[in-house]
Amino acid sequence: MKRIVKILLPILIIMLSVSIFMVLRASRPEQPPVSTKDRVWRVEVLEVVPQTLAPSLTLYGRVESPTLYKAAAPASSRVQRVLVREGERVEKGQLLISLDPRDFLPRVEQAQAEVAELEAQLNSERIRQSSDLEALEYERKLLELSNQGVERARRLQTKKLGSDSELDQARQELARQSLSLTSRKLSIADHPARIQALEARLQKAAAGLSQAELDFERSQVKAPYAGLVASVEVAEGDQVSDNRQLLSLYDPGSLELRARIPTPYLDELEQSLENGFPLIGFAGQPNRRIQLSLSRLAGEADPSGIDALFVIDQGSGLLRSGQILQFKLGRQPREGTLAVPYSALYGKDRAYKLVQGYMQGLQLETFGSYVTERGDELLLVRSDQLNTGDQLVITHLPNAMDGLRVEAVVNE
């Protein structure tokens, strides 16, 4: 009997559990049917109002000075005084660096002595020429007298009144006088050559004096114009060699900006220059605005582009030579364009507009960035699929596609 109970008891428990489950299932409340509804994404939109706007090109340039003045030592010397420091503003003619004058004055004095000596030799040569010309007449008269003496001695000898020795002495005197006259004539004839040689030596000595005086003048380094000290390369007491750079100076008003123009934009900018369209660049904040204008293009280019030189029209006092500057270059205006946030763009040229609660894709033509008066950077676009009054979706959705349900956010 116990064995039968052990077998039937589990079966009865299972049957009872199934009965209870069926009763509970039959008595549960009815669930209302679940209704499905599409999710609506909330997005910001921009009303399309086509305008004529100018795109801009972001460039990076280096500030340069075409008037950079580099002072160098005219000769080996010692630095006596350094009167300025890097970054100081100086006035025209202001003394900047003084080299020891004792390294230059002896050269000036030596050159002056050489010039004085040669001038004295020239004066002596002119006096000598005057004396030779005067003596020449006497030499000729003496030669004539010597000729007469020879003739007289010959007549006396013929008459047996004179000896052979007297005739020989008269002939010797004639020969000596002839030689003296010839020497005098040679000296007079050689006078122009001697003068020319002395004048050449004097000219050389005068050039040496001018160079020595110039070196002495340059030993006192003065500002050639009002400007800003870019660098000071020496200190007081330094021994400097010939042509050693001492300092550099530039005029802040002459600063230029050199920037590389990418090749794809080169034709456009060259055409603008040829047509006289002003290409203006700007950088900085409104209260520290730097304005540039394209002056010219460099004479050489390479496959990556060409250097352009910009004149700094405004804000040159905010810049320093060698500084790297990022700026925006305004290009020629485009008609029928729209400035939109970069978030409106998908890929390179795709965007969406809101049409009756759904997103509709369209193709854009992009022209680059556009900077507002407040300094906000937007993207300048144009599309034949956009009309005045259309709503362009500017909220970037990761799941954006045609037909996606969206709702425009109303900004209070």
Q: What is the mean pLDDT of residues 213-239?
A: 94
pLDDT in tens, 87-119: 999 999 999 999 999 999 999 999 999 999 999
Q: For a pLDDT cut of 70, what percent of the chain falls above it?
A: 83
| Residue range 43-54+334-408, CATH number | 2.40.420
Half-sphere exposure of 225 (CA within 13 A, CB side): 12
Which one is predicted more confidently, 65 or 130? 65
Please check whether residue 325 is in contact with residue 369, taking contact to mean a CB–CB distance below 8 angstroms.
no
The CATH topology of domain 56-65+254-330 is Elongation Factor Tu (Ef-tu); domain 3 (2.40.30)
pLDDT in tens, 212-225: 999 999 999 999 99
pLDDT value at residue 32: 55
pLDDT value at residue 170: 64
pLDDT value at residue 89: 94
Which one is predicted more confidently, 316 or 23? 316
- Domain 69-104+219-250 is in which class? mainly beta
pLDDT value at residue 55: 92
Q: What is the mean pLDDT of residues 80-85?
A: 95
pLDDT value at residue 204: 92
Please check whether residue 215 is in contact with residue 99, taking contact to mean a CB–CB distance below 8 angstroms.
no
pLDDT value at residue 412: 47
Q: What is the mean pLDDT of residues 22-27?
A: 69
- Return left, alpha or beta for 353; rule: phi > 0 is left, psi -120 to 50 is alpha, else beta: beta
Please check whether residue 72 is in contact with residue 245, taking contact to mean a CB–CB distance below 8 angstroms.
yes
DSSP string for 349-409: TEEEEEETTEEEEEE-EEEEEEE-TT--EEEEEE-TT--TT-EEE-S--TT--TT-BEEE-
pLDDT value at residue 344: 93
Please determine, for residue 33, whether its predicted confidence score (pLDDT) is greater than 60: no
Please determine, for residue 1, whether its predicted confidence score (pLDDT) is greater than 60: no
CA distance 308 to 316: 18
Please determine, for residue 400, whether its predicted confidence score (pLDDT) is greater than 80: yes
| List of E strands, 74-177 | 77-82, 89-90, 95-99
pLDDT value at residue 150: 63
Backbone angles phi and psi of 311, in degrees to 5: -85, 140
Q: Which residue has the tokens 């007079």?
A: 188
84 pLDDT tier (thresholds 50, 70, 90): very high
CA distance 245 to 225: 18
| List of E strands, 21-160 | 41-43, 45-47, 51-53, 56-64, 69-72, 77-82, 89-90, 95-99
Please determine, for residue 293, whether its predicted confidence score (pLDDT) is greater than 70: yes
Q: What is the mean pLDDT of residues 130-150?
A: 70
Considering only CA atoms, which of 381, 379, 254, 259 is closest in space to residue 329? 259
- Its pTM stands at 0.63
CA distance 254 to 66: 7
Which one is predicted more confidently, 332 or 13? 332
Query: What is the residue-averaged pLDDT of the chain?
Result: 85
pLDDT value at residue 180: 72
Considering only CA atoms, which of 58, 61, 102 is closest in space to residue 80? 102
Two structure tokens written together for 241:
């060699």
Q: What is the mean pLDDT of residues 263-271?
A: 88
Which one is predicted more confidently, 285 or 78? 78
